[in-house]
A and B are shown apart, each in its own frame.
Chain A
Amino acid sequence: MSGIDLINVVKRFGALTIIDKLNLAIAEGEFVVFVGPSGCGKSTLLRMIAGLEEISDGELRIAGNRMNETPPAKRNIAMVFQSYALYPHMNVERNLGFALETARLPTAEIRERVTKAAKFLKIDHLLERRPAQLSGGQQQRVAIGRALVRQQKLFLFDEPLSNLDADLRMEMRVEIARIHREVKATTVYVTHDQMEAMTLADRIVVLKDGFIAQIGTPMELYERPANRFVASFIGSPRMNFLPGLLAREGEESVLSLSGGRHRLAAHDYAGDVTLGIRPEDLMLGGGEATLEAEVLLVEPLGGESLVHLNVGDGRSIVVKAQGKPNIRPGTTTLVGWKHERAHLFGKDDRALLPGRT
């Protein structure tokens, strides 16, 4: 048992409330990613689980036991830091074995665990080196190795890949996924990169200003964002938003956009709305609903292209199209979508669904 329960958890720094009455249950063996923009409280929340920050109010339970007053060392966790936090004066082998050495494990066992972790992370040829003699990616592997050798049931990662370049980030992402698959430890992972969140997580917790904006599997968040914030945060390039008006007309609702009127299934909501459509759900030339648009720019990315369109009132949208569409900037084109791929958000930015307010 090594699930985590956060019950009405609050974090205050003086008069400033960073996290307010947050509730979250993480199951044993689950890989949960906290994602959100800078300052949303995701790192603070992780550090509260680790015991590096005090919990102002509420309760933290690990494996069912209250942990608020338990020092970090007794929480049976292993943590990987953004800055790696390697001991600069020790070589890789001692860095890996230091915690075990401190715990007075037999030398033979320390050696065995260190060798195993080093092999697993492909750093066994670097054991004699000191951190300063390693590349960023290698240092990160050592930091992960240091967490692995302790064989804890709970892993915490605090933006572990943000100091690496794009290639290494992808490589280490795959590596972390592999480690989770094999070690099966409960993992909490903090990142501001929605791509890492999408690829690694069993469940994603999107945080905004200390609140949970939405919890769900990556595909749930992508397919059914609960609000405009999650809709724009998950997905790249980000979702297009257009203002409109939703009105009830008998057995159906009518959505009025500046470029036309569209009949939809009946919604209970009526009034100002925002229509959201992902670039990959827009089609050039036609669809169930269409708008006329002026082509601003075509960005070929190789296999696909990003087409920037002006849809009137100075509003621009982005379409992700396969290959390189044969259109020129300055010309007019039709852009369309399927109603089932469109998202509607009410005045309070909450997602609207047919038949619900």
Chain B
Amino acid sequence: MATMRIGLNAMRARTAWLFLAPSLVVLFAVALWPLGRTFLFSFTDAYLTEPDIYDYIGFENYFTLFEDPLWWQSVRNTLFFTVISVSIETALGLAIALLLNAHIGGRGLMRAVILIPWSIPVVVSARMWQWMLHDQFGILNHVLKLMGLIDNGIAWTANPDLVMPVIIAVDVWITTPFMVLLILAGLQMLPRSIYEAASIDGVSEWRQFTALTLPLLAPSIAVAVLFRLLDALRMFDLSFVLSSNSDDTKTVSIYAREVLVNFQDMGVGSAASAAIFLMIAIVTAIYVTVFRLNRRLLGV
């Protein structure tokens, strides 16, 4: 009788698949299946009340979506929010990380303290800020009045010119610690001796920063920015809590939820979700490509 021989590699591969199987099943159930369903529904006229009854209507939902000026406004809002908030957070994060990396007393405590805003759930911080920004009873207006800078309370979250800057400011408050943490981790990887060598070679502090620290830190900053970019592009909670119905701060995520839940329109809602997915994918792809090219050019 011929015995069946299984090669060592084949056996290893089989064991590997066995261990991978549970996570693959979970991944399929919670990520691929819903994503596929969303794409599927975006080509139907389904309604949330009776999601089992639908017809395929081709790209009709996408035409509806792209003809809605409110959709384009939410795209503009989202991109504006993303670019401005991530830029400020990166600059501020870098500055604070450099400060915390310096050898000064009490920096251990500072590192812990700085993380507090990030550790609070966003909805809680948003509520907190809502109270602080309240036009009549908020502490911010109270302080400004005491200082004699204003006579009447400012409606921070109701004024269409102010609401987006306010949301960006609160987002900066919440997520700068995350940037600080990632950039600080990168900073601490940099060898001390190259700075000693540079100081002996007469390289000024500013040039040490621009010619050594920044290029060596670029990969850390890039990863941190990518994380924040993905997060900011699908921002929902902050805007929803602080200014739930304002068109001036409506993000694409809020738009999609509104169509899907408030209007019960599963077709257009799914089309909006699919469009958000594609938007994030494209932005990420562009970002990663540009960064790779940059790295090759800079030789980092």
Contacts and interface: CB of A to CB of B under 8 A. Distances in A.
Given A83-B191, A83-B193, A85-B194, A102 B299 contact: no
Contacts of B215: 89
Interface residues of A, number: 27
B105 to A, nearest CB: 14
Contact of B200 (A51, A86, A89): A51
A78 B200 contact: yes
A89 B203 contact: no
A88 B201 CA distance: 16
Given A52-B196, A98-B211, A85 B191 contact: yes
B47 to A, nearest CB: 57
B192 to A, nearest CB: 9
Contact of B201 (A52, A84, A89, A102): A102
B202 interface: yes
A58 interface: no
Interface string A74-102: 11011101011111110100000011001
Given A83-B191, A88-B216, A103 B202 contact: yes
Interface size class of B (residues with CB under 8 A): 20 to 34
Nearest to A71: B199
B203 to A, nearest CB: 5
B300 A89 contact: yes
A99 B211 CA distance: 11
Contacts of B191: 83, 85, 88
Interface of B is mostly: helix
Given A99-B203, A102-B207, A89 B216 contact: yes
A52 B279 CA distance: 51
A79 B197 contact: yes
A102 B202 contact: yes
A184 interface: no
B299 A87 contact: no
Given A83-B191, A85-B191, A87-B212, A98 B203 contact: yes
A174 to B, nearest CB: 24
B299 A79 contact: no
B200 A79 contact: yes
B300 A72 contact: no
Contacts of A15: none
Contacts of A102: 201-204, 207, 211
Interface in B189-248: 191, 193-194, 196-204, 207, 211-212, 215-216
B199 to A, nearest CB: 5
A44 B198 CA distance: 19
A324 B117 CA distance: 76
A98 B201 contact: yes
Contacts of B194: 85-88
A103 to B, nearest CB: 6
A51 B196 CA distance: 10
B26 to A, nearest CB: 39
A150 interface: yes
Question: Which 5 pairs from chain A and chain B are nearest by CB?
Answer: A99-B201, A73-B202, A85-B193, A85-B197, A72-B200
